[in-house]
Structure formats: C-alpha cells, structure tokens
C-alpha cells in the first residue's frame, strides 16, 4: 500500500474516531447540562398514528438486537467464538442477526416513507432528522451487505474489529487491523463513527435517557418545594 | 395518619351558563403557543355529549385510569412490564384526530382577493401544516347540540339508560342539557403520574398540584393515554407533555387561577382539603359502591384536634390549617355532601368536585295538565328530564343515591328560601322538605349564602404558599452573586 493510502487510513481510523468520540462526550454532557429541555424522543405518534407502528417497532427492536450483538462481540469475543465453534450455532446466530437487521431496514424504510408522505409529520422533521435517517439507512444497508457478502462477521469481528476497537479505547490506535478489510466494512466503520459524532446534535440523545428507573420506582411521585426536615430543625432552634 | 394538604375545587354546575369565559382565560395565558393550539386545559362540555377529545369517557377506547385486577390496582393503559414493550409505539395513545386539527383563517384573502363574482372568504388554514383545510371537528363541536340525537346519543354515560329515559332527554321541544366545565382534577391517585416512565410528572407535596417537569419529560407519552380525563396533552412541537398547572404562579401569589377568577357564573370554589395520604391505595381499591363514601372519608376534619396535630407534625403551617377550616370546598364536599367527584370509578381520586345540576323543571306536562307541587316533594327529581341515571353515571360511579341526596338538598334549600322571600310556600312545608333532605335551617342558610351571595373571598380561600420556606430560600443567598447580567435565555424549543 502506498503512503498516501496509509495516511488516509491513519486519518480515518486513527484520528477521526477520536474526533467523533470527543464530540460525542463533550457535546452530550454540555447539552445535558445546558439544554436539558431538548432531551426528548420527539415522538410524532400524536400527529400520525396509523403507520407509526409499522416503522417504529421493527426499526427499534431490530436495531436494539443488532447493537447488542455488536457490543457482545466487542466485550465478550471469546464467548461468541465459543458459541460459533459449532457451525449450526454460528448459522443460527448469523441468521437471527440478519433477520433483526432486515427488520430494522424494513422499519427505517417505513419511517422515511412516513416522514415524506405525511404533511403533519413533515412539519416536525428537521434537516438534522433527515441527515440522521440517511446515515442510519447507509449503516443498515452496509451491515446487511456485509452479512451477505463478507460472511460470518460474528466470528471475524473478534479477530479484526475487537482488537482495533480496544486499541482505540486504550489510546494507542492500531489501524493495521482494519487497513486490509474490504471497502464495505471500512465504510461501515467510518459511518459508525460519523453516527457517534453527530449523535449529540440529533434526537438520538433520547437513547441516553431511556427510562429504566420506572421499573423499580413507586407508582406515585411527590416532590416538595420545602426541605421539611431542615425547616423542622430550624423551628426547634428558634 | 399522614396528613397532607391539597388545593381542591368545587364547580357548582347549577350555576354554569356555558359561556366559555374560563376556557378563553386559560387559553390566552397558557396555550396560545406553537404546539399547544389544540389544547384546552380548561374546556366546557355540553352534556349529554361526546366532549373533548370526543368520547373521552369511553375507557374501552382510550384505556385511561385504573382497573382492579385480582384485587390489585393497575393502570389500564400501561404498567411496569408493558411500558418496556410498548415504549416505541403506545397502543392506547390518542392522536390529533381524536381532538381536532387547530386552524386559523387566511384573513388577508379578504383584502387581497382579485376582483370576482363572489365575496372573498377567509379560508381556514391548519396551524400544524399551514395548508388550507376543511374543518371537520373542533374543541366544542357538539356545544349546545345535546337535543340533536346525532351528537348526544354517543355519550358514554347514556349506555346504562333505558329507552324511556333516553326519550326523556330528546323529546321534541324538550331538549335538555347542562354544561360540564373541566380542568385537571389534580387527583390523589393520578394515573398520569403513575404511568410516567421518566418520573417527570409529580404531585406537589405542599398543595397537591400535579405538574410535568418539562426538563425531565422525554415524550414517552404514557400520561396522555393514562389520564382517564384526557387532561394531559402532548405538545407536538416541543415534544413534551403539558397540562393544567392550576395557575400555580397565581396561587402562590394569593390569586385564584385564571379560569376561577374569570368565571362569570361564579360557579367555582377553591380551598384546602386535608386528607390522609396513607389511605390512597386502600380507597382507590374499594368497590364502585364504596368509592364515593371512601373518598369522602379520607378527607379529614380540619377542626379535629388529632387532625390538626397530625398536620402540624407533617409541617403544615398554621395558616394552611386555618385555610382548611375556612375552605368552601370542605363545606360542599364533606359537610353538606353536595359536591361529587366526576367518574370516580376511574379510581384516580379526583380533587375537583361537582355540585350536580338541577333540571330546570318545576312543573311537567302530563295528560295535557300541568303538574306542579304534589304531596311528593321530590317527584321532579326522579322524573327529571336529565335522568338521574345519567347523572349517576357521571358523578356517582353508577350509584343514584349520592346524586339524589345532593339534588334533594339543593331543591329543599331553594324551596326553603322561597318560603322565606316569596312566601308562596309555607314555612312548614319548607321545613318538612329540609328534614326530608337531611338539612337543618342553619345549613340551608349557609348553603344559600355560599351558593348565591358568595364574594371572591368566600369562593377562593387560598392558603399562603410559604415560599419563604422553599428550598431555594434555604440556599446561600450569595450563591448566584456575580452571575446575573445581560444574556440570552433559550425558549422551550424543539431539539437542539
């Protein structure tokens, strides 16, 4: 490989991830601190409730399963490799992943159609929303393409991607793991970091405020504008 | 006993003239922003009628409120497990079509239309899309239309009525209806609060006002479906839920909420109720028959020494206890038992109570003769043109007794006052009626006074909020020193 190609790889896989990650953390924290009001899923179900289900549900469930798969391969590569050591199990895993990715593809197509065709929903769609949809669509299409033409990603991920991602996490990026990968895979990686970089500027931030505490909190919520115990103490002192 | 204070309300429906001044007062202050045009935190409905959003009382359709499941209380629309599965698409969420698409008019066309054969018109424009629309429904679409079967017959409260009772309502030239103004009930067991995945909705401990924390709302929109009264609204522009705030900035400065203050018929009363917060769940689980009495029983007597001691122990100020003792709402709800909660079978324990309306009948035509006073004092209540059953479905969880009690007492008071001022009825008859309606002369006078001669100060007994004891007052006063200055405050806008 000539040196210009190497330099480009260095920039795309060695430098750009840090730009994206820095933007992600810095802007997300600042946005949460200063513009807390803007953290919302910005649901448009109220404006259009008929086709909403057919886009929203497959898209989200598809993406959640696929993302969980990616994270598993990053964090527990040995577990996944062990599972894949029996071919049947590998096929099952890949088939399930492909099915959910296809689900998210169907979902995002439905969502894009809905946003284009329904006037009311179009009114609450910003340029950032369109940008986000395009990048997400590219990512899903690339993922599906890889699953078909660069097969058994759940196995080769741990050989190429896991060490690469860890090298980034350890602040000593080693682009050699990825330079030889096929173009579709490289684009998938770059697009992933683009998504991470634009994440805090988009409605994606709603992912970070997923309402887990609801599952264990009491039904009723009461808030006091007085600190009653402190007031009682102060009263006793007087 | 866990004594808490609640700012509660009574609406005297017999005095409501359906002028919508309350709705306009509210709209002008709170909901004239983008995304809120369709919201009416206060609205006035004609009953029988389908209301706003249309058919909101039909919980088979909207899944609002609570239900009992094997003795346990659970939300009809969602729950701990169901919330996860349905977070991406809420199956019981109403959409804008259930309310109406807000519109304005293209007034410029009246001035700018080119010369033609026809008068130019101001065409309606959607306030969502900006496009021309055909208006198909509005917030008050069936206003005053109760006599026309096309609208009124769909009222969910009519479901248990017999054919004869329905005839009573819509007999030709005997159209009958009454007005039903509605705001958030600021419930003791609010379904909206219980459904919010983010914990953005909360009940204020000091005065029981139910609010949405705008910075914590994430548009999971469970509250919209969960509120059986459909009084939490989704701002489609900012992506946040909004609701009636009982004008708390006004309450905190000693003023009545705008809808109360502007009420032409002076039908609205506001005051403190002390209640036992430990009993909320127990009461909400009672059977339909026991709900009204149970709800009343958790409202505590503010003159009882034990209650006062409990209130003090909970940090409730003397001024608030005093306000509770003078509360007009306490008189209407607990002492006189005239005011009843709307649809308490939704089990949210509403803190807005209604004095059921009298039908405007003093005499009825029968066999070509006018039938007036008979030996049976209260005949016209049971034969009332608004069937008792209907009012019972609305204010009595299906039970006619509490509604009948309230109507009898109202009628007895009227006839007693008629004996006093007009004199065409003997005091003996009037007193017999009072006795039959479980009402003493003193009570009748008090009811008469608070109903007919009430001043602003009688109607609104607003306790001091004691903001001087609020959390911010206990902070270091220097904490914001050198921070103020010129700058920009960002408004509540959608997204970044």
Nearest to B495 by CA among A38, A122, A115, A200: A38
Q: Is A226 in contact with B471 (Cβ distance < 8 A)?
A: yes
Q: Is residue B149 domain-resident?
A: yes
Asked whether the beta carbons of A128 and A199 are under 8 A apart, the reply is no
Q: Is residue B434 domain-resident?
A: yes
Judging contacts by C-beta atoms under 8 Å, the chain A residues touching residue B86 are none
Q: Total structural domains in chain B?
A: 1
Taking the Cβ of residue A238 and every Cβ of chain B, the question of whether any pair is shorter than 8 Å is answered with no
Confidence of residue B430 (pLDDT cuts 50, 70, 90): very high
pLDDT at B211: 97
Q: Is B234 in contact with A46 (Cβ distance < 8 A)?
A: yes
**Stretch B109-120: mean pLDDT, rounded?**
92
Q: pTM of the full predicted structure? A: 0.92
Q: Is residue B254 domain-resident?
A: yes
Judging contacts by C-beta atoms under 8 Å, the chain A residues touching residue B6 are none
Confidence of residue A1 (pLDDT cuts 50, 70, 90): very low
Confidence of residue B13 (pLDDT cuts 50, 70, 90): very high
Mean pLDDT of chain A: 92
* DSSP per residue, B414-452: HHHHHHHHT-SS-HHHHHHHHHHTT--HHHHHHHHHHHH
**Stretch B440-455: mean pLDDT, rounded?**
96
Confidence of residue B376 (pLDDT cuts 50, 70, 90): low
B292-309: per-residue pLDDT in tens? 999 999 999 999 999 999
B355-365: per-residue pLDDT in tens? 999 875 555 55
- Whether residue B170 is predicted with pLDDT greater than 80 in this model: the reply is no
Asked whether the beta carbons of A38 and A198 are under 8 A apart, the reply is no
Nearest to A13 by CA among A157, A152, A179: A179
Kindly state the helix (H) or strand (E) to which residue B23 belongs, with its residue range: helix B21-30
Nearest-Cα distance to chain B for A92, in Å, is 24
Nearest-Cα distance to chain A for B337, in Å, is 28
Q: Is residue B303 domain-resident?
A: yes
- What ipTM goes with this model? 0.91
**Torsion of the alpha carbons at B337, B343, B348 and B353, rounded to the nearest 10:** -40
Q: Is residue B152 domain-resident?
A: yes
Q: Is residue B433 domain-resident?
A: yes
B122-145: per-residue pLDDT in tens? 999 999 999 999 998 899 888 887
Q: Is A43 in contact with B219 (Cβ distance < 8 A)?
A: yes
Please tell me which of the candidates B94, B218, B494 has its beta carbon nearest to residue A206. B218
The CATH number of residue B91's host domain is: 3.30.70.20
Please give the residue range of the domain that contains residue B2: 1-100+137-472
Q: How far apart are CA B448 and CA B317, in angstroms?
A: 31
Taking the Cβ of residue A186 and every Cβ of chain B, the question of whether any pair is shorter than 8 Å is answered with no
Nearest-Cα distance to chain B for A38, in Å, is 5
* DSSP per residue, B75-114: ESS--HHHHHHTSSS-TT---GGGS---EEE-THHHHHPP
B97-113: per-residue pLDDT in tens? 999 999 999 999 999 99
Tell me the percentage of chain A whose pLDDT exceeds 90: 77
Taking the Cβ of residue B443 and every Cβ of chain A, the question of whether any pair is shorter than 8 Å is answered with no
**Stretch B440-447: mean pLDDT, rounded?**
97
Q: Is B194 in contact with A219 (Cβ distance < 8 A)?
A: yes
Asked whether the beta carbons of B9 and B33 are under 8 A apart, the reply is no
- Whether residue B372 is predicted with pLDDT greater than 50 in this model: the reply is yes
Mean pLDDT of chain B: 91
Give the burial string for B36-56 (b: 16+ CB within 10 Å, else e).
bbbbbbbbbbbbbbbbbbbbb
Tokens of B217: 């709302």
Q: Is residue B114 domain-resident?
A: no
Q: Is residue B269 domain-resident?
A: yes
**Stretch A63-84: mean pLDDT, rounded?**
92
**Stretch B189-193: mean pLDDT, rounded?**
97
Lowest mean pLDDT among A175-179, A198-202, B383-387: B383-387
Domain segments of chain A as ranges: 3-210
Nearest-Cα distance to chain B for A135, in Å, is 18
pLDDT at B477: 79
What count of CB pairs under 8 Å joins A to B? 160
- Whether residue B370 is predicted with pLDDT greater than 60 in this model: the reply is no
Architecture in CATH for domain A3-210: Up-down Bundle (1.20)
**Stretch B332-343: mean pLDDT, rounded?**
97
| Residues 6+ away with beta carbon under 8 Å from B205 | A222, A223, A224, A225, A226, B4
């Amino acid at each position: 490989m000539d040196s210009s190609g190497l330099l480009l790889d260095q920039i795309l896989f060695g430098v750009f991830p840090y730009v994206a990650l820095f933007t992600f953390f810095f802007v997300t924290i600042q946005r949460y601190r200063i513009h807390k009001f803007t953290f919302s899923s910005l649901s448009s179900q109220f404006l259009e409730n008929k086709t909403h289900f057919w886009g929203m549900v497959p898209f989200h469930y598809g993406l959640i399963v696929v993302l969980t798969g990616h994270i598993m391969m990053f964090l527990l590569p040995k577990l996944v490799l062990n599972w894949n050591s029996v071919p049947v199990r590998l096929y099952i895993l890949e088939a399930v992943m492909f099915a959910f990715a296809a689900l998210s593809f169907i979902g995002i197509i439905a969502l894009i159609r809905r946003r284009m065709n329904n006037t009311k929903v179009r009114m609450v769609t910003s340029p950032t929303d369109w940008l986000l949809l395009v990048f997400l669509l590219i990512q899903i299409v690339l993922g599906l393409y890889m699953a078909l033409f660069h097969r058994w990603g759940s196995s080769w991920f741990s050989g190429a991607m896991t060490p690469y991602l860890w090298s980034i996490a350890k602040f000593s990026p080693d682009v050699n793991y990825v330079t030889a990968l096929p173009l579709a895979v490289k684009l998938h990686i770059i697009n992933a970091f683009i998504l991470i970089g634009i994440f805090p500027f988009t409605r994606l931030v709603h992912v970070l405020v997923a309402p887990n505490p609801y599952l264990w909190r009491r039904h009723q919520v009461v808030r006091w504008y007085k600190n009653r115990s402190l007031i009682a103490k102060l009263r006793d002192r007087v | 006993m866990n004594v808490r204070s609640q700012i509660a309300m009574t609406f005297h429906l017999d005095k409501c003239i359906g002028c919508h001044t309350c709705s306009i007062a509210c709209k002008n202050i709170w909901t004239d922003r983008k995304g809120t045009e369709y919201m009416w935190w206060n609205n006035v409905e004609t009953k029988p009628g389908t209301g706003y959003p249309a058919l909101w009382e039909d919980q088979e359709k909207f899944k609002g409120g609570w239900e009992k499941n094997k003795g346990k209380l659970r939300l009809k629309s969602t729950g701990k497990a169901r919330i996860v599965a349905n977070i991406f698409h809420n199956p019981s969420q109403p959409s804008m079509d259930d309310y109406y698409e807000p519109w304005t008019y293209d007034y410029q066309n009246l001035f700018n239309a080119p010369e033609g054969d026809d008068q130019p018109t101001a065409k309606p424009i959607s306030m969502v899309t900006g496009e021309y629309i055909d208006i198909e429904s509005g917030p008050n679409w069936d206003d005053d239309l109760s006599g026309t079967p096309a609208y009124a017959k769909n009222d969910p409260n009519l479901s248990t009525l017999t054919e004869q009772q329905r005839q009573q309502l819509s007999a030709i030239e005997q159209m009958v209806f009454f007005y039903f103004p509605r705001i958030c009930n600021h419930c003791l067991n609010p379904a909206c609060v219980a459904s919010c995945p983010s914990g953005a909705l909360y009940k204020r401990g000091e005065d029981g006002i139910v609010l949405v924390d705008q910075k914590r709302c994430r548009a999971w929109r469970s509250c919209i479906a969960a509120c059986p009264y459909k009084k939490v609204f989704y701002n489609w522009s900012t992506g946040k839920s909004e609701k009636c705030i009982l004008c708390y900035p006004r309450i905190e400065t000693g003023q009545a909420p705008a809808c109360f203050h502007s009420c032409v018929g002076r039908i609205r009363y506001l005051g403190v109720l002390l209640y036992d917060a430990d009993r909320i769940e127990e009461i909400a689980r009672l059977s339909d028959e026991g709900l009204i009495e149970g709800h009343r029983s958790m409202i505590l007597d503010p003159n009882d020494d034990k209650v006062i001691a409990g209130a003090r122990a909970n940090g409730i100020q003397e001024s608030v206890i005093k306000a509770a003792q003078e509360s007009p709402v306490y008189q209407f709800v607990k002492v006189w038992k005239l005011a009843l909660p709307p649809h308490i079978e939704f089990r949210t324990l509403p803190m807005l109570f209604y004095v059921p309306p009298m039908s405007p009948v003093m005499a009825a035509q029968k066999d070509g003769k006018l039938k007036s006073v008979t030996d049976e004092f209260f005949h016209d209540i049971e034969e009332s043109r608004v069937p008792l059953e209907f009012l019972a479905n609305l204010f009595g969880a299906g039970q006619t007794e509490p509604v009948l009690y309230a109507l009898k007492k109202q009628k007895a008071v009227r006839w007693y006052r008629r004996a006093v001022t007009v004199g065409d009825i003997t005091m003996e008859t009037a007193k017999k009626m009072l006795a039959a309606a479980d009402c003493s002369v003193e009570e009748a006078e008090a009811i008469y006074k608070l109903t007919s001669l009430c001043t602003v100060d009688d109607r609104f007994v607003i306790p001091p909020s004691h903001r001087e004891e609020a959390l911010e007052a206990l902070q270091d006063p220097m904490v914001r020193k050198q921070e103020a200055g010129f700058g920009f405050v960002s408004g509540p806008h959608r997204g970044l």
